Amino acid sequence: MDPIKAMSVLNRACPYLARTGMTALQGLADVGLSGSGMRSLSTSAVEQARCGVCPGHTGQSALLAKASECPVVGPSIRANDAAAAAKASKAVHQAPATACPYAKCADSADAKASAGANAPSKSGVAASAAAPVSHDSQEAVFDYEGQYQAKLAKKHGDKSYRYFNNINRLAGRFPQAHTANAANIVTVWCSNDYLGQSKNPVVVDAMKDALDTYGAGAGGTRNIAGNSALHLRLEAELASLHRMEAALVFSSCFVANDATISTLCSALPGCVIFSDKMNHASMIQGIRHSGAKKHVFNHNDLAHLEQLLAQYPRSTPKLIAFESVYSMSGTVGRIPEICALAKKYGAITYLDEVHAVGMYGPHGAGVAEHYDYEASLRAPVGQRIAGSLMDQVDIVTGTLGKAFGIVGGYIAASSSLVDMIRSYAPGFIFTTSLPPPINAGAVASIQYLSESQRERYLQQTHVRQLKSDLASAGIPVVPNPSHIVPVLVGDAERAKMA
């Protein structure tokens, strides 16, 4: 093909070269190819000009250098240049016979050529990946609102959409509350404020005093300006309650479980987690975030747990995560047996006492303390009781938002483990700490329930009476030994309407 005609073909095929102009292109071709004569700018000659190992070629022509800048043709040229360079070790090169896709469409309209540029090139994925993303098209953006609505429609469709009741509990009329209409008084049967500590005058007065003295907010994260004497006092109270060396307070027990499990198990090389099938979502979230290998054992199934533990040598770091009281079924965890298995197979135990702290044991430390009731009653609070069940648990996690009537979560364990979590857990480090009134109220509530047995006694008495009354009325209750009263409602939608 005549050089001028060849350049004319490229000029018409490529909108970028078309703007450059024929005169400029001819000048570039003359400069770039003067060393070997004006070689034909047919497709095969163009392919040869791209290749640095062709006989007589002294480098990429100025014309091709200009063409490689084209946003349409350029990516394909650059991809082919890279492929040709990989074959540079060959002494003889046979120029590809495949015609340039842009030369082929020279007789097509410019609009067709532009449309063809959007089609996958023969260089495949490499060329597509190298092509810059264009934001000039009129393509519609992603339908964000439509996606949100579709997810909500799914919830409505399977009847799992959550409706939040407007419940305003009245401190002077516990357990009553008013709805959105202040004149509409209802009785709250589903509160986690098990012992009514949120309206206990001792707790409320402590919070008022702290509010007057220190204000409403914490002022920052614990590592900046949010670490106060009340934080340290609260952690000392919790460590003493569980007879552990140290404790650490979080904004909630969900955060405590997520941050502790994820941080701890990612720090233990090759750690394997063994999780009870009915564990709370917060522990499941922490397990996911840890990235550690996990096994889920059937609820309270010791044989299944041991079968899983036996797969690993004692030298493998292992964590067994379970609860003392399971909130949905009311069942109680097999704490002594699980601790024995942990010792046998070299694992550490992670016991969630969220629904048990304040509720069980002579001082309200939970089910683990309740197992050694008499020994715990005799020993001074905070003193380690060798051989007790509490002494066999490695990590305890609890909440301040249920029986203690405030808000927040915590862990209690050895001082080195607590310090490691304090130093590495993002969920602890990078969040504003609990406000002073919350800390003061929690300290007062823990101390009160550590001394008073009245609230626990009355609560257990009322639970037994309620379960008996429900059974007499023919209302099905899942049997269990704890204070949880699981009532089977059947159809959720009909129950909501009722």
Residues with active-site annotation: 402
Can you tell me whether residue 478 is helix, strand or coil? Answer: coil
Can you tell me whether residue 432 is helix, strand or coil? Answer: strand
Can you tell me whether residue 396 is helix, strand or coil? Answer: strand
Question: Are the CB atoms for 261 and 473 separated by under 8 Å?
Answer: no
Rounded CA separation 368/362 (Å): 11
Query: Which residues lie closer than 8 Å to 251 by C-beta, 6 or more apart?
Result: 408, 409, 431, 432, 433, 434
Query: Which residues lie closer than 8 Å to 93 by C-beta, 6 or more apart?
Result: 48, 51, 53, 54, 55, 87
Rounded CA separation 178/185 (Å): 4
Q: Tell me the CA distances in angstroms from 487 to 71, 277, 470, 473, one per residue in order.
A: 67, 21, 9, 12
Q: How many CB atoms lie within 10 A of CB 373?
A: 12
Our separate counts of H helices and E strands in the chain read: 24, 10
Query: Which residues lie closer than 8 Å to 214 by C-beta, 6 or more apart?
Result: 228, 230, 436, 437
Q: Tell me the CA distances in angstroms from 303 to 33, 273, 307, 310, 321, one per residue in order.
A: 82, 16, 6, 11, 16
The burial class, CB within 10 Å (0-12 / 13-18 / 19+), for 90 is exposed
The burial class, CB within 10 Å (0-12 / 13-18 / 19+), for 487 is middle
Return the closest-CA partner of residue 400 out of 188, 200, 197, 170.
Answer: 197
Return the closest-CA partner of residue 405 out of 168, 256, 202, 173.
Answer: 202
Question: Are the CB atoms for 400 and 407 separated by under 8 Å?
Answer: yes
